[in-house]
Structure 1
Amino acid sequence: MFLGDYIDRGPDSLGVLTLVKELDQAQPGQIIALRGNHEQWFLDWIDADDTDPTWLLADAGFTTTRSFLPPEVIGDLVAELTDAIGRGGIDAGLAGEVNAAVKKEVTSRHRDLIAWLRRRPLYYETDTHVCVHAGVDEEAGPHWKTMTPDEVFTDKYPPSLGAHTVGKTIVAGHVGVGPLHAAEGRMRCWDPFVDDGHIYLDGSVESTGQLNVMRHDGVAGTTDFI
């Protein structure tokens, strides 16, 4: 089970997505890869007007974009835009033209990957747990599946804490656990955060190096972390 945010967390977003996709296809029905907010933002960019460069300009250093295209292609496409950013001014027309060209290259080169990404579910439910990237509408209680908007599954913030009436433990990523631990006096702690109704796993690996993994034995009903 992967909880999302495979992109925007390092220099090889494409490599991470490709690896997860290959695992999914090599082990049908054994791998569940959920969609996170960063994947959703990427898909929203794909679906937006070609001249809307919002996502592209938010990609600092075009790091994620560069992972999807050969250096000679992305270099030529963003060189003028990079120069404009360096001068402190971005022409809307230029940004739109570059965005359209970049999007065309990305979509034409990675059609299968994008199609696979669109099929990623927003949550996965077992008898005891709800696995999701960010969270659910806990005020909806047992009706969370029909009452939770898609953007809450991927973008919910701040995280809910404590007991709830969903009926199952919510397992999520999205929010770094450091501040949750700090609020309870545990400073610089990046271990999974567990309370009466939740397990939050995001150890902010991109800055801490700590990647938290939960292991649950459905037969024995035990949970540990590695």
Structure 2
Amino acid sequence: MLKSMRSILGRKARKPSLADAVAPRLQSMPLPEQQTYVIGDIHGRADLLELMLELIDAHIGGTSAVNPQLVFVGDYIDHGPDSEAVLTRMRELHESFPDNVVCLMGSHERMMLDFLADPATRGPRWMRSGALETLRSYGVATSDLEESPEFDAYPKAANALRRRLKKSTLDWMEGLPLSWSSGNLWAVHAGADPGHAMEAQTARVLLWGHPEFDSGPRSDDIWIAHGHSEVDTPRVAEGRIATDTGAWRTGRLTACAIRSNGRYDFLQT
């Protein structure tokens, strides 16, 4: 996958023309410094991830993109059947293209890490959020966790998951960033508090959202691309770019391809 990306990363940027110098900046649109692909929540659908990489590869090859950026907004695990495969692929992409592939932490990755740190306390919430499918993808038995689990079922499952989860993958997950930015475009998992600068957002807000996030555009011309909240149709409006189309149940994984001139396309499996 991403067959054309290695050659594209080697392209030299063209020199700016006079037209570029005098062209007005469309400050009402997202303006990343390079062509950027923001990919929504994957939730264990390794099959859709591979399809999306093919779509992105074809889209990059059909444009004059220089140094394109891929940003995944988190929630790689849970609900879908192949969380282990998705995590492996995410790490592989990041390590193969460290300057061009960003993997953000999502709320489900945070829940998994919290479960491993404190299974008895954090286990019930994660189990209600699609964790059984993740555990099964790692070969962890889940029968003791269904219906009314005993107190010690959560520590047992956590120990089993730790034995099957590579430490290098766990370390990689713990180091996932909460945000990424370029130009006036920011990517986060869930949302942001419109009353605070992006640099001042808390981890809780970036991972779980804010009640006023959808109230209207920010006053600082910042555009925020995000996942977390499912939408029937992806949209770009009022400073927000929604990309989570419920891939795990709908089969529709979405990416927003945003050019440095403010134009954008949606790619969808």
Using structure 1 for the length normalisation, give the TM-score.
Answer: 0.78
Partner of 2:172 in structure 1? 116
**1:156 equivalenced with 2:194 (yes/no):** no
Question: In structure 2, what residue type is equivalent to 1:225?
Answer: F
Question: In structure 2, what residue type is equivalent to 1:203?
Answer: T
Return the alpha-carbon distance in structure 1 between the equivalents of residues 81 and 109 of structure 2: 15
**1:58 equivalenced with 2:114 (yes/no):** no
Give deviations 1:48-96, integer Å, cap 9, x for gaps. 2x43332464255822111122xxxx33xx44454xx3xxx44xxxx33
Q: 1:56 to 1:194 in 2, by over 3 A?
A: closer
**1:25 equivalenced with 2:25 (yes/no):** no
Return the alpha-carbon distance in structure 2 between the equivalents of residues 164 and 10 of structure 1: 34
Gaps of 5+ in 1: 179-189
Return the alpha-carbon distance in structure 2 between the equivalents of residues 207 and 56 of structure 1: 18
Equivalent residue runs for 1:42-53 within 5 Å: 42-48=112-118, 50-52=119-121, 53=123
Partner of 1:223 in structure 2? 264
Partner of 2:73 in structure 1? 3
SS at match of 2:186: strand
Question: In structure 1, what residue type is equivalent to 2:154?
Answer: N
Using structure 2 for the length normalisation, give the TM-score.
Answer: 0.66
Match of 1:132 among 176, 188, 193: 188
Give deviations 1:134-182, integer Å, cap 9, x for gaps. 1111111xx2312x2211101115542432124311111111123xxxx
| Between structures 1 and 2, the one with greater helix share | 1
SS at match of 2:187: strand
Question: In structure 1, what residue type is equivalent to 2:116?
Answer: I
Return the alpha-carbon distance in structure 2 between the equivalents of residues 224 and 128 of structure 1: 18
Shift of 1:207: 2.3
Q: 1:60 to 1:194 in 2, by over 3 A?
A: closer
RMSD over aligned CA atoms reads 2.0
Partner of 2:153 in structure 1? 98
Partner of 2:22 in structure 1? none
> Number of aligned pairs?
194
Shift of 1:193: 1.6
Runs of 4+ in structure 1 off by over 6 angstroms are: none
Shift of 1:10: 0.2
Gaps of 5+ in 2: 1-70
Q: Larger RCO: Structure 1 or Structure 2 (Cα < 8 Å, ≥ 6 residues apart)?
A: 2
**1:168 equivalenced with 2:210 (yes/no):** no
Return the alpha-carbon distance in structure 2 between the equivalents of residues 12 and 6 of structure 1: 9
Q: CA contact under 8 A between 1:14 and 1:67: conserved in structure 2?
A: yes
Partner of 2:59 in structure 1? none
Shift of 1:47: 1.6
Return the alpha-carbon distance in structure 2 between the equivalents of residues 80 and 175 of structure 1: 30
Return the alpha-carbon distance in structure 2 between the equivalents of residues 201 and 31 of structure 1: 17
Return the alpha-carbon distance in structure 2 between the equivalents of residues 56 and 38 of structure 1: 8
SS at match of 1:63: helix
Give deviations 1:189-219, integer Å, cap 9, x for gaps. x2x122121111111122222211111222x
Partner of 2:11 in structure 1? none
Partner of 2:49 in structure 1? none
Q: 1:51 to 1:208 in 2, by over 3 A?
A: closer
SS at match of 1:151: helix
Q: Percent identity?
A: 27
Shift of 1:125: 0.8
Return the alpha-carbon distance in structure 2 between the equivalents of residues 67 and 197 of structure 1: 37
Q: CA contact under 8 A between 1:51 and 1:99: conserved in structure 2?
A: yes
